[in-house]
């Protein structure tokens, strides 16, 4: 199960690290691809808003965690020196003092205050997406769904095959 979690999470990073600048796609050697989205992207902002409105679904699944759930992740908005990057956080360990605790699972592009493997706290207001996997099916992941929808048919097929997730 750990291998599926790691594989799924790395694939998600390949499409879902959001950064706010004009270059649409940033390829990095031995790192996941970053898809950049403008801050005024109405569809993306709608997806983020939906994630915020439905965060209680994540909380319920996380608190009632059973063996049918194989992965939990939260996307946090980081801001530093005028740079904005939305980064997925994995290995959600719990909630302390109203803040989620998790681990940065990829190398940020512009944000230098966190790095791969850092444990971070996430306040509800900082969350830009949430997801969990239940019986190979993606729940939440509203920004993932939008970015997948924007992919070419070939990219989408590759993503679906590599992720092993079902996205309805």
pLDDT value of position 6? 44
In a domain, 167, yes or no: no
Do the beta carbons of residue 72 and residue 92 sit within 8 Å? yes
The mean pLDDT value for 23-42 works out to 69
Q: 63-115, pLDDT tens digit by residue?
A: 988 788 888 999 999 999 998 889 999 999 998 888 999 999 877 888 999 99
The answer to whether the beta carbons of residues 20 and 40 sit under 8 Å apart is no
Mean per-residue pLDDT of the chain: 83
Model pTM above 0.75? yes
Domain of 34 in residue numbering reads as 2-159
Residue 164 maps to a domain? no
Q: Tell which residue, 12, 18, 15, 8, has the closest CA to residue 128.
A: 18
89's enclosing H/E stretch is: strand 83-96
Phi, psi of 28 (to 5 degrees): -130, 135
Tell me which residue of 95, 90, 87, 110 sits closest to 18, measured CA to CA: 87
Check residue 15 and give its pLDDT: 43
Residue 67 lies in a domain: yes
Calculate the alpha carbon distances from 7 to 34, 39, 121 in Å: 17, 29, 23
Residue 50 has pLDDT above 80, yes or no: yes
Q: Which residue, 30, 40, 18, is CA-closest to 111? A: 18
Question: Does residue 132 contact residue 58 with C-beta atoms inside 8 Å?
Answer: yes
Domain count, the chain: 1
- Give domain status of residue 91, yes or no: yes
Lowest mean pLDDT among 16-30, 69-83, 126-140: 16-30
Q: Is the residue at 129 inside a domain?
A: yes
């Amino acid at each position: 199960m750990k291998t599926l979690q790691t594989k799924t999470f790395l694939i998600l990073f390949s499409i879902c690290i959001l950064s706010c600048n004009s270059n649409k796609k940033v390829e990095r050697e031995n790192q996941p691809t970053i898809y950049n989205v403008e801050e005024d992207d109405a569809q993306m902002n709608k997806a983020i808003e939906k994630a915020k409105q439905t965060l209680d679904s994540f909380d319920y699944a996380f608190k009632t965690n059973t063996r049918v759930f194989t992965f939990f992740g939260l996307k946090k908005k980081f801001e530093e020196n005028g740079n904005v990057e939305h980064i997925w956080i994995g290995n959600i360990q719990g909630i302390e003092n109203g803040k989620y605790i998790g681990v940065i699972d990829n190398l940020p592009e512009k944000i230098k205050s966190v790095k791969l493997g850092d444990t971070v706290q996430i306040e509800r207001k900082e969350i830009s997406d949430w997801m969990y996997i239940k019986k190979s099916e993606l729940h939440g992941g509203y920004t993932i769904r939008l970015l997948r929808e924007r992919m070419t048919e070939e990219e989408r097929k590759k993503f679906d095959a590599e992720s092993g997730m079902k996205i309805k």
